[in-house]
Structure 1
């Protein structure tokens, strides 16, 4: 199994795929992967996700623990290696149910594909990090000025870096960003070709394991002049359905959220057991899976932080020229189903 290279892996390719499909008219008249929920015996529905404990943690637990079946659903998970594969399937209508990041939701919505984000599932802000090389010495965050940071162009972790710079008075324009695929950043860091790398899990853990120093993440700072909890990025994982799928299967959407709610509770109440189940499904080591999951906040709360996080991500994507216009949040974020089944989770 090849662990996906991050939540923003192949984003440029993904945008090209989605834009092309949307332009070809695939966003409308979509086919669905499942028949209507009230057609008698439950028929198999394919739910698309990723080989990632952040994107598909609840999705995997709901299947493995039988929560889908408890709700009368016959859902089979199909886990892909990255978001670029699922984007095309969502745009074509094949992926009626899809688990992914808010970045992916915004990407397809900005290209005219009609989707409904039913609920957030996890905030992966704690995995978006900057790791310094083994012998890097800093007396303050401003010492990053003039240093080389390896980063994939357009990666969401840049939001955290921008907010770090604003909070510490660091001139971000004086940081030398070196465009590197995340898989190449480890070697560059070890050789000393770069002073730090800006990435996500599982690459952050690999960098630390080889002697790197975690300088900061979206939720924690170890910088000399800024220690402790921070709020420098929100990076939500979500579950979405196409509008076409929802119109034909409204009861499926409700049952889906009920099953995912059970899975969320299980992850929070039995973190090690959940990590073992997920690790086996995606074929990674249990300790690595547990370490990654401990950095995430698994919750289905639709609140102002979630909406603000989506809007800030969309503005960032526009700034990076990954989308041509920022879609209105209400066009793709729809708390209606969540409010119906778990009204306490909708806090806005």
Structure 2
């Protein structure tokens, strides 16, 4: 099957987030239009370039490493890395030049036509871990001899926490897919909306929820404080074989800014690609470089990094990216997106 053709011949659909979120986003985009026009101009040779990450976690490792290992500098770039939550609109309008954006957010933004464009890929093949507290394990009568389906069936009515809730959190969507693949309704396990990861961790620690469904290091961090055990990892499971080489997060910019600054954009992608490769080839050394930047116990961080997979050289063909979008669309990861919006949301033109 030609996945590129399939992706370009259909509109992808998913659960639409609350209207107020997107009405506010559209209003902000309109208000930011004048700033966008000036912020997307060609940058000077010595001008500082702001690159954002949403959270100081292993998912942001390529950006941090490209900075601390000097890859940005070796490309002749003056980069400042800054943690900015929910920066996609600021990136799309050129107020932040580049930012790490997950693919789900990228496609949600594309549905609004605000000009956000991914130019290279960071993480692929997401690895989410389902863990349960010992208290819930005992209450629900779980045993090691049970199949995964039997364990999930016994957990009816339990909850995970998710920043943003069921409709917008990628992890919540993956949980729904896991339940569906095991013949259970997608709401068999509930989703408790949280404002941030620290609140989500606290909810598990105080017994408000008995399950966690997160990438590392969150499961190991929580289980180091609250007794529990890991039930399932989608990264090791044939149930999610279709997630192989799916783009999970990207480096994005304004499409107008990339067009005005093709050399700068190529250099950013070069630096990110080198960082991706370093993470794959030298995870222990990468953990050493990142230990002062990611607030996680060092041993947990070191154990966490090998569970992440990174796009080699930061590259992904447009055909492979669109195939990944097809997979994510089937999991209802983003709002309705047209074929033209998908085509403009990603380009491999700056990957050399």
- What TM-score do the two structures reach when normalised by structure 2? 0.75
What's the counterpart of residue 178 of structure 2? Answer: 164
- 1:333 matched to 2:337: no
* Cα distance, 1:111–1:229 mapped onto 2, change above 3 Å: closer
Q: Does the 8 A contact of 1:134 with 1:211 survive in 2?
A: yes
* Cα distance, 1:156–1:337 mapped onto 2, change above 3 Å: same
Structure 2 segments unaligned to the other structure (5+ residues): 1-16
What's the counterpart of residue 4 of structure 2? Answer: none
Q: Which residue of the other structure, out of 68, 74, 87, is the alignment partner of 2:72?
A: 68
Q: Does the 8 A contact of 2:103 with 2:248 survive in 1?
A: yes
How far apart, CA to CA, are the structure 1 residues paired with 2:320 and 2:223? Answer: 29
Cα deviation, residue 260, structure 1: 1.7
Q: Which residue of the other structure, out of 286, 295, 301, is the alignment partner of 2:298?
A: 286
More moved, 186-195 vs 288-297: 186-195
Structure 1 segments unaligned to the other structure (5+ residues): 1-10, 222-227, 342-348
How far apart, CA to CA, are the structure 1 residues paired with 2:48 and 2:239? Answer: 44
Q: Deviations over 1:105-154 (max 9, x none)?
A: 1232222211221111112611x232122151142313423341223322
In the TM superposition, 1:1-348 aligns within 5 A as 18-24=25-31, 26=33, 29-32=36-39, 35-36=42-43, 39=44, 41-80=45-84, 82=85, 84=86, 86-123=87-124, 125-126=126-127, 128-135=128-135, 136=137, 137-138=142-143, 139-140=146-147, 141-145=149-153, 146-152=156-162, 153-154=165-166, 155-173=169-187, 175-181=188-194, 183-186=198-201, 189=204, 194-209=209-224, 210-220=226-236, 230-231=240-241, 234=246, 236-299=248-311, 300-303=314-317, 306-314=321-329, 316=331, 323=335, 325=337, 328-338=341-351, 341=352
Residue 30 of structure 1 aligns to a residue in which SS? Answer: helix
Give the CA RMSD over aligned residues: 3.2
Q: Does the 8 A contact of 1:31 with 1:92 survive in 2?
A: no
* Cα distance, 1:63–1:143 mapped onto 2, change above 3 Å: closer
What is the number of equivalent residue pairs in this alignment? 312
Cα deviation, residue 270, structure 1: 1.9
Residue 336 of structure 1 aligns to a residue in which SS? Answer: coil
Residue 285 of structure 2 aligns to a residue in which SS? Answer: helix
- What TM-score do the two structures reach when normalised by structure 1? 0.76
